[in-house]
Chain A
Amino acid sequence: MAKDIRMDQQDGQAKTFGDRIMDFFASLFDIYKFIARFCKEAFTAPFEFRETIRQCFNVGYKSLAIITLTGFITGIVFTKQSRPSLSEFGATSWLPSLISIALIRALAPLITALIAAGKIGSNIGAELGSMNVTEQIDAMEVSGTNPFRFLVVSRVLATTFMLPVLMVYAGFIGLMGAFLNVHQNELTSFTTFIHDAFTRISFLDIFASVFKSLAYGFTIGITGCFLGYKASQGTVGVGRAANSTVVASMFLIFIEEMVIVQIVNYMR
């Protein structure tokens, strides 16, 4: 029986289907070891407070502009798209509630995570990949610094803790965009809009969104760091690490969204 043999592009050696399955499980084991090392190093001294705060600034502050723009546009567009359907039933007064539920439960966490995967994830993948292929990580290690703690732990903590902050900000900006549109068309006051918007929002909605954002932030950080830290083959490897980070992060974010929504609906 003919075997499925292909030439491996990386090392030019023939790899069977079985070899590829083994490689897949080896990669999963590598990811497990990487996460286990993160958990160990994140909770043992010495802590990299200064670098973590610097990374929080990079992840949070430097993403504000794009989060503001996308959040605001999302709020306006979602309001405009929802109005015709509600007006058929004479229910445009429900717009603030509908928009706030959509934004807080799903849109704000997802949009923030997808923007962060593209902007922050690719940045981490490319930066660590570049440091790896130019031996900067080795240089750090031989100069008496633990590069995993300095580079990986600080970045993963920063993405994990800044994503919820960015999500809350994106939600607020989205609501402001929605308010402008509602105010323009329905002449609703700001107080009424905020009152209607938060009437239907429960603690569980906010808790679930914050929890989701923590999970998305961790996913983006750990994916970028893992792929960057393991990058090889020069500039090609750097590009591949950045690209793979975005693709893998987005894929995992949607999987997590699906799982968390099921759990929250079960709890509701």
Chain B
Amino acid sequence: MKETISHNKEKVISIENLSKSFGKINVLNEVNLEVYKGENVVVLGRSGSGKSVLIKIISGLIKKDSGHVAVLGKEMESLDSKQLQELRLHIGFSFQGSALYDGMSVRENLEFPLIRNKRNLSKKELTESVEQVLHDVGLLQTIDQMPSELSGGQKKRIGIARTLILKPEIMLYDEPTGGIDPITCVELNNLINKVQEQYNTSSIIITHDLTCAKTTGNRIAMLIDGKIERQGNFDEVFASEDPRIRAFYNYNFITRS
């Protein structure tokens, strides 16, 4: 279990009373959450509990109904599209399904955000950046492969590499270990910790995998029925007598056994 980060540090994400509904379905209900510099916060919850919606609101992909979201000190609702685009360069988003561009090779996938945002880079600088970040995720050998030739775990790593290439301050991981075998899960958890140390990122990790939560999270936030019901380190959260939290823990334990 990872140690807790001091809350005297600077807040990089601040969420207050965030609510979001889709039609009549209330997905997020008065959510409050803060992420401090250098901290990995794991948001745990069942499928459909609004975890992915939460990080999509933080990255500006989905609009909130009410509440406040501030990222790196900037209120999301006050940003115009250009400012939002600039802010997004400081946020890395690792998608659940990797979201690699099918028509591009691994090299082109990684070059794409660089070419789009840093247009004055030479070909040599591009290649160096791509090779460096691929080396960091341990997949330099896949540089000229197409996404369809990669395994699920490799795709996830390349997806993370693509976000790291812009050197983000914040990482948002959507189910990083979803649909992956246990050994690859361990490798991905180690990679998330390596990214935190090497790139000095603050992260929100969305998962329902307790091993991932325990290995990568400095703090755990339990999202149940659209509300953060409990926060703290792993042991503090699961010391709860709340039957919903106990059931979540027991279910994970039973299935893993």
Q: Which residues of A contact B (CB under 8 A)?
A: 127, 130-131, 134-136, 138-146
Contact = CB atoms under 8 A, between A and B. Distances in A.
Interface string B56-80: 1001110000000000000000000
Given A142-B91, A145-B113, A135 B96 contact: yes
Contact of A139 (B91, B93, B103, B117): B93
A237 to B, nearest CB: 15
Contacts of A145: 112-113, 116-117
A50 B237 CA distance: 52
A143 B116 CA distance: 9
A146 B82 CA distance: 10
Interface string B79-107: 00000011011010101110111110000
A134 B155 CA distance: 13
Given A142-B59, A143-B113, 5 more contacts: A135-B96, A136-B99, A136-B101, A139-B162, A146-B85
30 contacts: A131-B101, A131-B102, A134-B97, A135-B95, A135-B96, A135-B99, A136-B99, A136-B100, A136-B101, A138-B93, A138-B95, A138-B99, A139-B93, A139-B99, A139-B100, A139-B162, A140-B101, A142-B59, A142-B88, A142-B91, A142-B93, A143-B88, A143-B93, A143-B116, A143-B117, A144-B85, A144-B116, A144-B166, A145-B113, A145-B117
B19 interface: no
Interface of B: 56, 59-61, 85-86, 88-89, 91, 93, 95-97, 99-103, 112-113, 116-117, 159, 162-163, 166
A136 B159 CA distance: 11
Given A136-B99, A138-B99, A144 B61 contact: no
Nearest to B91: A142
A236 B257 CA distance: 36
A84 B64 CA distance: 70
Contacts of B88: 141-144
Nearest to B119: A46
B99 A134 contact: yes
A150 to B, nearest CB: 8
Contacts of A141: 61, 88
B95 to A, nearest CB: 5
Given A135-B97, A138-B61, A143 B102 contact: no
Contact of B163 (A135, A136, A140, A143): A143
Nearest to A135: B99
Contacts of A136: 99-102
A130 B85 contact: no
